[in-house]
Structures are given as structure tokens and as C-alpha cells.
Chain A
Amino acid sequence: MGIKFVGTKPLDVDLIVEGYALNKMGHSLIREENRQEFQADEDAYMAKFGLSEKAVAAVKSRDRDEMMAVGLNMYFYGKIRFVTGGGGPASA
């Protein structure tokens, strides 16, 4: 099935560390002004949060698995999906 819950046994610290900026950016998208800022200039917004090159590429891929591979936590995925035009609820 390939299910990987970020950080369950064994705790994947590298992934937690790598994913932090991406998840922090995801959380920021609960504010309308931040969603607008992201949509106006995605690259600048990602730079503001210090996303790694890999994380930027993952967000641009719009692919859930690619984002998870750089540490995206599921609960922040929907917020990024929403702001990148993927539709669906922002969380579930």
C-alpha cells in the first residue's frame, strides 16, 4: 500500500525537519490574505517560508506523494491543494 504516516515508527526526524517549513507555509494558508499572496506570486511566497529547492519543486508538481516525500503532513496538504487550484476541502 505504501502508506507512510510522516514520523510514525520509526520516527523519521530528517523528514520532520525537512517538512517543517512546508507545513508552516501550509498552515499560513488558513488566512485569506496569505492565500492571495501565494496566488499572486507563488515563488516569492515559498521563498518567504524558506522552502528548500526540493520542496518548491514538490509544490509545483501539485502531486500529493511528491509533497509528502519532502515531509508534508497530511493535515496541511489540503490547504496547499486548495490554494493551488486542486479543489476539494482544505482538510478532512
Chain B
Amino acid sequence: MSDVLDKPVRGLAWFALKQEIEDFLYMEADLLDQRLFREWLDLLAEDLVYFMPIRRNVKFGQHAEKENTRQGEGISWFDEDKWTLGKRVEQILTGVHYAEEPLSRVTHMVSNVRLLDVTPSAENPAEITVGCRFLVYQNRVEYETNTFVGRRIDTLRRQGDSWLIARREMILEQNVLMAKNLSILF
């Protein structure tokens, strides 16, 4: 992000909001880890964009242009909407989606939370862009273990006294995917 080095002066409202957002992200992670998939779906905005690019090995200087596949073009790991995620949940709940039957054991770690953008203001936030790191640990059946690590950029939209996820971009730090499947939710 170009704002990595920005050091704006932040007031108490900003830090209170940051705390609120962190709590929201931890709660969301808990829903997934406790397999409350339908409740998790309720946190997604109807116009959700859920995007995980494929990362490529490119020459120095070409990263901005070529490193990640782009949303809305070609093939990525995920470039989908709420309907499709709803299908993923529905599939798990059939009990015969063998890639998740028996269910994996999953822990989502969320850290390095930063508010990247708040509109219109920290005192009265309607939409927030929040960056974080994820470390998702998956263990399934007996010995099969995957660790997915990367950056995430979420757009959250105020809804009543909570938030809806309107956009989630997951930037996985892998080129050739080192797992056989991406059968879990991020």
C-alpha cells in the first residue's frame, strides 16, 4: 500500500473504531472455526466480492502490473460473489462433500490489523477498508496439514451496530498452490 509510511495523527475515536473492527474480525474468524457457516454467510453483503488472485513470478519492476491476477479477468483462485459462497456452504452441509467430509479442523489467525480508510469519519464510520494478515491452519483426517499465510484487505460496511463484509481480497503468499484443495473459507 502506498500509505504504509503515512503517519496521520489519530484521535481516540479512531482507536475505538480500530478496536471495534478487530473484535468484529475475531468474531468472524470464530464463526468459521466453530463451523457456524450459515451465520458467517449472514455477515456478507449481497454485493460481496470475494477475490484471491494467483501470484506469479515476475521480473523486478513488473510486480504492480503483472504479479497478481486481476479481479474480473481470466482465472484466479477465487473471483466470486455471495451466491457462490452460499453454494460452498450448502455443499459442505450436504455431508457428502468428501473434500470436507469429515470436516477439517481450522484455525484462522488474524493479526497486523490496520484501518486503511474510513469514510466519512472515525466518529461516524459508514465504510471501512481494513488490512490484516491471515494465518489459516487446516488439519484434516489424520495427517493432512496446510498453512495458508497472506494479506487480506476487507471492505466493511456499517449495518446497524455491526458490519457487513462487502469486499474481501486474500493475497496468499504462494505461487504453485502447495495444498491439494482450497476447500475451506478464508
Task: Answer yes or no: are A and B bound together in one complex.
Answer: no
